[in-house]
Amino acid sequence: MASSASSGTSGGLTLPVWVASAARAALRALLGHPFEPNQQVVQPDGGEPLLVPVRSAARLSDDQALAISRCDPGPGLDLTRDLEIWVRVAWTPSADQGLVLMPGEGVGRIGAGGDACLSTYARQLLECTLLPLLPPGQGLEVEPVLPRGRSLAERTSNAAFGVVDGLALIGTQAEVQQSAAPEQLEQVLRELRALVADPGFGGSVALVIGENGLDLARRAGLSPLLKVGNWLGPVLVAAAEAGVKDLLLLGYHGKLIKLAGGIFHTHHHLADGRLEVLTALGLDVGLSLEELRHLRAAASVEDAFQRLNPETAMDLGRLLAATVEQRSQAYIARYGDWSLRIAAVLFDRSRTLRWRGPMAEERFFTLQD
């Protein structure tokens, strides 16, 4: 029995789920089946299938069809709300190709002309939902189209990670994680308590911000890992209370810079001030008035660093990492006398672990660029 998206979790559903629902409706139309307003999306982890609404579906010709869904990420602020999703499916020339994903207009690519940017979960979601419906020996081309994807992507940090032309189809689960919601904080705190209670816990943990930070931490061999959303301050205090001795903060410079400004809830709808913090740090490293003006007028933190020569950028980045460590240590000191030592490592748009604070150099010296 499938659970209904409309009566499901309060967090709503991620973009890949809505793409999969439209893809299934389009495939059913191509097969000549009658239209159904709710499509069954099969989860790759074996969880209960989801019934996800679609708006329409139609056969375009004997070998292709199109369906449309509309994204509902649930409560909270999310730029994909009401995003219309078109998915065109077509039979492939070769029966051995299985699913062939073609990035349509508004779908992010990894570099200009590159492959579609989608997570392993998103691909598995499509495979689990569509492959059981394919006739024996038949392959299928799947082309998602996000008509407003290109313009919406300009309001994200996609370009900072080499994703161009639209929105990335990323995510590791069906349910949207509301990073600014109290429920998300409770989930992270439960995971923290379980991690510390493990008999093999050695006293250190790497706290990663976002999917890119999680991927980089795994590649660097860091363990154990705890992925956190925007509630960094309460999680730092909870880690200190739980007896964590060494904590590494690993994240994108455009996110962790808020901690250097004393902002410990990092959702952009609640607080910003990133360029102001960077400009103040630039003053501390002795930048000229002209350089400070360039920083203040930059389009983003990444753009600000690109305006500086490499040596100056390295000095500023190191000071930023050190300041993140200092302000984080001062933050938890407000709530008690803890033995927790906080280190910080920042990565840039090339997904390179670029800058480390003094504590990171001392306690996590095995990290390699």
DSSP characters over 173-188? SSB---TTSHHHHHHH
In CATH terms, 182-363 corresponds, of 3.40.50, 1.20.58, 3.40.1050, 3.50.4, to 3.40.1050
State yes or no: pLDDT of 368 exceeds 70.
no
The residues facing 39 across adjacent strands are 52
Beta-sheet pairing, 140-145 with 50-53: unpaired
pLDDT at 185: 74
Supply the pLDDT for residue 180.
47
- Residue span(s) of the chain under CATH 3.40.1050 come to 182-363
**Side chain identity at 21, as an amino acid letter?**
S
Output the CA–CA distances (angstroms, integers) from residue 210 to 25, 55, 106, in the order listed. Answer: 31, 31, 22
**pLDDT of 10 over the 60 cut:** no
- Summarised one tens digit per residue, pLDDT across range 187-219 is 888 889 998 999 989 999 999 887 778 778 888
> How many whole angstroms separate alpha carbon 155 and alpha carbon 152?
6
Q: pLDDT tier at 338 (50, 70, 90 boundaries)?
A: confident
- Encode pLDDT of 117-171 as tens digits: 888 888 999 999 999 999 988 999 999 999 999 888 877 766 656 677 888 887 7
Task: Match domain 3-167 to its CATH number in 3.40.50.10320, 1.20.120.920, 3.30.2110.10, 3.40.50.720.
Answer: 3.30.2110.10
**What is the Rg, in whole angstroms, of the alpha carbon atoms belonging to the chain?**
23
Give CATH 3.30.2110.10 domain extents, the chain.
Answer: 3-167
CB 105 within 8 A of CB 150: yes
